[in-house]
Amino acid sequence: MIGCKAPENSAPALRAPAGGILIKGAGATLPSLLYKHWFASYNNIHHDTVIGYDIVGSGEGIRRFIGNNVKEEDRVDFGASDAAMRDEEMAQVPKGVVLLPATAASVVLAYNLPGFEGDLKLSRRAYAGIFSGQIRKWNDPIIAASNSGKRLPNMDITTVVRQDRSGTTYAFTKHLDAISEAWRSQHGAATLVNWPGNAMRATGNEGVAGRIQHAIGSIGYVGYEFAHSLGLKLAMLENRDGKFVAPTARSFTSSFADVKMPENMRLFIPDPAGSDSYPIVTFSWILLYTSYDDPAKSKAIHDLFRWCLVEGQESAPQLGYVQLPEAVAKKALAALDTITASEAGKK
């Protein structure tokens, strides 16, 4: 079970066995529980391949992957981001970039409201108002309207938000941008936000979940798997079809039904359609170089992520993630097959 302590952001120093390969990565916290499981499972099968993954957030993962002004010990073979990469970021990578959708996840609104019984329902107007700082009390009429017959306390709302550049923040604000004109005009979608209202800041999904667990009157956005691990209460959210939907494996999967991944491998679903769909979901990407100087490492990286996209997908639902739709997995495998060893490395 995840504790409330600060996240352990850096992987311990790792070494490959004699004749083996060390693969280093860094980035997103949202898929980190799944990635840690995948990498450990893969190493148990392929003892000569050791994978280190620093859980530093999507923004820092992209920075390390680009590699400008990065310390030698922080250089990586792959990055990870819930916000993919923008064209201008990709242009800074001389080796080229392959975006690989690796998994899908949901962002939930977890809350700490002792004495409130039953399921808290939050309309789109309510949770957009809470995080924009317009709704500041738990017994606000806009919240009460969706929770008829339930007693809401006359208590200040404290939002728990990310203080680091975060793909989870990007997914959440991308959704707010889609449903709230007020949010769109003031903030938009971003990996880092100057949050209005009474906001408590934390680092990483684990940090946010821990703060919510101990802060009475708080509500925060966090990856489902982190909130679920701590047993936090999760709000039912109004979706695009006007239905209040609980965060469940079924509602998460419904949100990704019939998606079509474009050729550039960047697809955001800021407001899924469908009466059963959960409204805040995201793909999460592995960032690979188009070519690697070391042919052995190029092959090891290819084999690792092929395993993640095939065998590894089966364990995703058990850990609170969404198995990639078959069509998306096929496109990701095709993209993976484009990585090569550089001409210099082949000599």
N- to C-terminal Cα separation, the chain = 48
| Tokens found for residue 11 | 């992987």
pLDDT tens digits along 127-138: 999 999 999 999
pLDDT in tens, 238-277: 999 999 999 999 999 999 998 999 999 999 999 999 999 9
144 with 89, same domain? Answer: no
Reported pTM: 0.91
In this predicted structure, what is the pLDDT of residue 19? 84
Amino acid at 204: G
Map 10-58 to HEC letters: CCCCCCCCCCCEEEEEEECCCCHHHHHHHHHHHHHHCCCEEEEEEECCH
- Number of Cβ within 10 Å of residue 202's Cβ equals 22
Number of domains the chain is built from: 2
Percent of the chain with pLDDT over 70: 95
How would you classify residue 260: left for phi > 0, otherwise alpha for psi between -120 and 50, otherwise beta? Answer: beta
Q: Is the pLDDT of residue 6 over 50?
A: no
Q: Are strands 121-122 and 21-27 parallel, antiparallel or unpaired?
A: unpaired
Among 255, 274, 297, the domain-final residue is: 255
Query: Mind listing the pLDDT tens digit for each residue in 111-156?
Result: 999 999 999 999 999 999 999 999 999 999 999 999 999 999 999 9
- pLDDT tens digits along 33-54: 999 999 999 999 999 999 999 9
- Which string of DSSP letters, residue by residue, matches 149-174? T----S-B-EEEEESS--HHHHHHHH
Give the per-residue pLDDT at 347: 46
Q: Are both 53 and 121 inside the same structural domain?
A: no
Q: Is residue 63 part of a domain?
A: yes
Domain extent at residue 61 = 21-105+282-346
Position 1 in a domain: no
Q: Which residue has 């489902």 as its token pair?
A: 224
